[in-house]
Amino acid sequence: VTLHLNPISSVHIHQKPLVFLLNSPLPLVWKLKTERLAPGIRRVFFVSLGSVVQFEKGNFSLSAETEEKFFPEKNEHLLQWAQKEYGAVTSFTEFKISRNIYIKVGE
């Protein structure tokens, strides 16, 4: 699955930390494609067991962290866990089948 990340239109370059929980019932290779995300900013990708994140060539991967995590099975429990762990969830999306996911990050 290719995860496309770019800032909302009102933000020229996104310069804030991000945390993603990438959960799947089956192990996946998450291919990351980014546009206009500032280098050197901490970005964390938690993936379900057996999954990996592949970064594009460049220095984005130097400031990104990937960690395998056991997530709650049901979406409601995953959302509750994320809120408890991080205090807030700004976006939650579920896909049954997808090859490309487009996410706009911003304020």
Yes or no: say if 61 and 55 are a contact pair by the CB < 8 Å rule.
yes
E strand residue ranges, 18-95: 18-22, 29-34, 43-48, 52-55, 64-69
pTM assigned to the model: 0.90
From residue 60, alpha-carbon distances to 10, 33, 34, 55, 81 in Å are 22, 10, 9, 7, 27
Alpha-helical regions (H) of the chain: 60-63, 75-86
Q: What is the per-residue pLDDT for 53? A: 95
pLDDT in single tens digits along all 107 residues of the chain: 999 999 999 999 999 999 999 999 999 999 999 989 998 899 999 999 999 999 887 667 778 999 999 999 899 999 999 999 888 898 889 998 999 999 999 86
